[in-house]
Amino acid sequence: MPGRGKTPAHDQATTPLQLRPASTVLDLERLGSLHPYRLSFMRILLRHVMNERWQIHCKTWDLDAEGYGTAIYTIDAPHGRFSFVVFADYLEPARRSDRVIADQWDMTVTLCAGDVDDEQMQMLRANVPLQEAGRVDARCIVLSRANKSSRNFDYVIGELAAGRQPALETIARIGYLYRTTAVYGSGKFGMADWLKVRSTHPDFARPFAAEMFTCYMIREFSLAQADHIAHARAPGTAVKMDAAIKRYFGIGNATGLGMAPFLINHPQLISRWVEVRETALARVIRYGSPTAENRGYLQCLLQKASLHLRQIATDNELQNKCNATVIGELDDIHDWAGSRELLDWAELVEHASQCVSPETQELINSLLMELYPELTDELEDALCVDESLELMPGQSLADTKALIENHYDWALDIDFSEPHCRDVFWYRSMEKSEPRLGQRGVDPGEDKAMPLAVAYDVRQCYDLICASIEAGACQSVAEFAIRFPELRSTLRRVQSLTQSAYGDIRTNLLDADVLPIHLLRCKLSFFGVSKFDPKSRLWVRNTMFQGAPLADDIGADFADDWYFPVMPTMQQRRLN
Amino acid sequence: MLKRAFEGLGYCQADYEDAARAAVWLESHGMRGLELVEEHWQRLGKVAGGLEITAIDNDVMTLDARGSSMLARGRSIADLAMALLGQEGFGRLKVQQCYSRMAIVPALELCAQRGAGAVAYWADSKYQHIATIDTKCGTPDYRRMQTKPRHSASETSLDFACHEQQQQLESILAEFADGDVRSACACHVSAADMKTHYQAAIEHGLAVSDDLLATLSATAETILVAATEQSRRGAGEA
Q: What is the per-residue pLDDT across A250-294, written as a single tens digit (0 to 9) for each?
A: 999 988 888 889 999 999 999 999 999 999 999 999 999 999 999
Q: Under an 8 Å CB criterion, which residues of B touch A? A: 12-15, 17, 50-53, 63, 75-76, 79-80, 82-83, 85-87, 110, 113, 202-205, 221, 223-227, 230-232, 234-237
Which of A393, A437, A486 lies nearest to residue B12, judging by beta carbons?
A: A486
- CATH topology for B2-233? Ribosomal Protein S8; Chain: A, domain 1 (3.30.1370)
| pTM (whole model) above 0.90 | yes
Q: What is the per-residue pLDDT across A69-114, written as a single tens digit (0 to 9) for each?
A: 999 999 999 999 999 999 999 999 988 887 777 889 999 999 999 9
Nearest chain B residue to A476 by CA distance is B83
Whole-angstrom distance, CA of residue B235 vs CA of residue A540: 11
| A140-148 sheet: strands from edge to edge | A55-63, A69-77, A80-88, A107-113, A140-148, A176-184, A250-255, A540-544, A530-534
- A126: number of Cβ within 10 Å: 12
Which of B14, B63, B236 lies nearest to residue A535, judging by beta carbons?
A: B236
Residue type, A477: V
Torsion sign, CA atoms A241, A243, A245, A249: positive
Which of A438, A448, A478 lies nearest to residue B234, judging by beta carbons?
A: A438
Torsion sign, CA atoms A491, A494, A497, A499: negative
* pLDDT score recorded for residue A3: 35
Q: What is the per-residue pLDDT across B155-193, written as a single tens digit (0 to 9) for each?
A: 899 999 999 998 888 888 888 876 556 656 889 999 999
Q: What is the per-residue pLDDT across A323-332, written as a single tens digit (0 to 9) for each?
A: 999 999 999 9
Rounded to a whole number of angstroms, the distance between the first and last alpha carbons of chain A is 22
* pLDDT score recorded for residue A11: 55
Which chain A positions have a beta carbon within 8 Å of B203's beta carbon?
138, 196, 200
- Assess whether pLDDT exceeds 50 at residue A2: no
Nearest chain A residue to B61 by CA distance is A479
Q: How far is B8 from chain A (nearest CA, A)?
A: 9
Three-state SS string over B30-65 comes to CCCHHHHHHHCHHHHCCCCCCCEEEEEECCEEEEEE
Beta-carbon separation of B202 and A195 below 8 A: yes
Helix (H, G, I), strand (E, B) or coil at A379: helix
CB contacts < 8 Å between A and B, how many?
134
- Assess whether pLDDT exceeds 50 at residue A246: yes
ipTM beyond 0.85? yes
Beta-carbon separation of B237 and A192 below 8 A: no
Would you say A345 and A290 are in contact if contact means Cβ atoms under 8 Å apart?
Answer: yes
Nearest chain B residue to A259 by CA distance is B235
- Assess whether pLDDT exceeds 90 at residue A428: yes
Band the pLDDT of A1: cuts 50, 70, 90. very low
Which chain B positions have a beta carbon within 8 Å of A192's beta carbon?
205
Domain regions of chain B by residue span: 2-233
Instruction: Give how far the C-alpha of residue A317 lies from the chain's centroid of Cα atoms, to the nearest Å.
Output: 23
The DSSP secondary structure of A97-145, one letter per residue, reads -SSTT----SEEEEEEES---HHHHHHHHHHGGGGGGS---TTEEEEEE
Q: What is the per-residue pLDDT across B19-59, written as a single tens digit (0 to 9) for each?
A: 999 999 999 999 999 999 999 999 999 867 789 999 988 78
A437–B contact, CB cutoff 8 A: yes
Which chain B positions have a beta carbon within 8 Å of A205's beta carbon?
none
Q: How far is A116 from chain B (nearest CA, A)?
A: 16
- Assess whether pLDDT exceeds 60 at residue B86: yes
Interface of A with B in 133-172 (CB under 8 A): 137-138
Nearest chain A residue to B86 by CA distance is A394
Domain regions of chain A by residue span: 41-256+550-575, 397-497
Which chain A positions have a beta carbon within 8 Å of B226's beta carbon?
429-430, 444-445
- Assess whether pLDDT exceeds 90 at residue A315: no
Q: What is the per-residue pLDDT across A25-67, written as a single tens digit (0 to 9) for each?
A: 999 999 999 999 999 999 999 999 999 999 999 999 999 999 9
Would you say A337 and A295 are in contact if contact means Cβ atoms under 8 Å apart?
Answer: yes
Q: What is the per-residue pLDDT across A4-32, written as a single tens digit (0 to 9) for each?
A: 344 555 555 568 899 999 999 999 999 99
Beta-carbon separation of A137 and B236 below 8 A: no
Would you tell me the crossing angle of helices A345-355 and A317-338 to the nearest 10 degrees? 140
Q: H-helix or E-strand containing B70?
A: helix B70-88
